[in-house]
Amino acid sequence: MTRQEIDYDALKKKGFLWSKHEGEFTLRTRMPAGNYASSHLSKLSEIAEKYGKGIVHLTVRQGIEIPYILYGKIDEVEKEMKKTGVLPGTSGPRLRATTTCPGNNWCKRGLVDTFSLFDKIEKRGIVCAMDLPHKFKIAISGCPNACTRVQSSEIGIHGAVDLTHSERRIGYAVYLGGCGGKEPHMGFKLDKVYTEEEVLSLIVKVVEFYKNNAKPRQRLAMLIEETGKEVFLKAIGE
Ligand code: SF4
């Protein structure tokens, strides 16, 4: 089968990416909040041995990739993957895997439960591989150290202490409009520490605004530049 005959967008959406080597693909996987069980690692290792060249590669978005998979073996690998319980990653114009640090689950500096926030974002319908005008990334960190580089994602969230609150309540700081790539942008920080409900609602509004207004291949940073920051903030209720 030639490259022209392959529905590459469908393959990319479910985590199979072209390799530079003709006829070979790389399988990209993910797990919610980046948490793989040790049993997942054994099974992925078996897949890498059987269908790849015994190599697994860790991505910057907390995924595990297996390179050197032959096109003709993709169906078999998919079946094996389903048995592992590991989820496929994605690529292309859609929401990528959200990067999440441990937060207060085990990091001594964590202020918030990052895994729980991740689950709640998914429950609002903001899920990996949802189709969008271009790539879109969310990063969650448990404290202002921002180990998942929240300033470089479309939406970046970190746990923060609200110093304006009489009880110094713990909430969430939010950055919007960051991205890497050929035209990197630093996200700008919103002037507030949000409650959990507020931050969940804000995330939904930003994704909706992006989905409804961005042109194909336009990152959020460029959409905000084009729209004007004030107009954008007003549109998302800020
Ligand atoms: S961002 Fe904070 S909570 Fe998360 S890993 Fe870094 S230091 Fe720990």
- Residue closest by Cα to atom 5 of ligand 1: 101
Residues with CB under 6 A from ligand 1: 101-103, 107, 109-110, 141-143, 145-147
Q: Which two tokens stand for residue 107?
A: 């990091």
Q: For the chain, where do the domains classified as CATH 3.30.413.10 start and end?
A: 99-235
pLDDT in tens, 2-31: 788 889 999 999 999 999 999 999 999 999
User: What number does the ligand 1 atom closest to the CA of 107 have?
Assistant: 8
Chain mean pLDDT for the chain: 96
> Does residue 175 have a pLDDT over 90?
yes
> Does residue 203 have a pLDDT over 80?
yes
Q: Which of 107, 97, 95 is nearest to 210 (CA)?
A: 95
Only one residue has tokens 């709640």, namely 120
User: Cα–Cα distances in Å, from 184 out to 95, 97, 151, 177, 192?
Assistant: 18, 19, 11, 10, 24
Q: For the chain, where do the domains classified as CATH 3.90.480.20 start and end?
A: 3-88
- Residue closest by Cα to atom 2 of ligand 1: 143
Q: How far is the CA of 144 from the centre of ligand 1 (A)?
A: 8
The pLDDT score that the predictor gives to residue 5 is 85
The pLDDT score that the predictor gives to residue 209 is 98
The pLDDT score that the predictor gives to residue 224 is 98
pLDDT in tens, 102-117: 999 999 999 999 999 9
Tell me the mean pLDDT in the region 207-233: 98
Q: What is the CA radius of gyration of the chain?
A: 19
The pLDDT score that the predictor gives to residue 152 is 97
> Does residue 215 have a pLDDT over 80?
yes
Q: How far is the CA of 171 from the centre of ligand 1 (A)?
A: 15
pTM for the complete prediction?
A: 0.95
- Residue closest by Cα to atom 6 of ligand 1: 147
Q: Give the CATH fold of the 99-235 domain.
A: Sulfite Reductase Hemoprotein; domain 1 (3.30.413)
Tell me the mean pLDDT in the region 50-68: 97
The pLDDT score that the predictor gives to residue 89 is 95
> Phi and psi (nearest 5°) for 90?
-150, 175
Q: How far is the CA of 74 from the centre of ligand 1 (A)?
A: 37
The pLDDT score that the predictor gives to residue 75 is 96
User: What number does the ligand 1 atom closest to the CA of 148 have?
Assistant: 1
Tell me the mean pLDDT in the region 145-161: 98
As a whole-number percent, the residues of the chain with pLDDT over 70 amount to 100
The pLDDT score that the predictor gives to residue 4 is 82
Q: How far is the CA of 140 from the centre of ligand 1 (A)?
A: 10
The pLDDT score that the predictor gives to residue 201 is 98
Q: Give the CATH fold of the 3-88 domain.
A: Sulfite Reductase Hemoprotein; domain 2 (3.90.480)
Long-range contacts of 122-129 (CB under 8 A, 24+ apart): 122/32, 124/200, 124/203, 124/204, 125/204, 126/95, 126/203, 126/204, 126/207, 127/95, 128/30, 128/87, 128/89, 128/90, 128/94, 128/95, 128/96, 128/97, 128/98, 129/13, 129/14, 129/90, 129/94, 129/95
Q: How far is the CA of 161 from the centre of ligand 1 (A)?
A: 14
Q: How far is the CA of 210 from the centre of ligand 1 (A)?
A: 28
Of 101, 104, 114, 116, the one to substitute when testing ligand 1's pocket (max ligand atoms within 8 A of C-beta) is: 101
Long-range contacts of 226-235 (CB under 8 A, 24+ apart): 229/188, 235/209
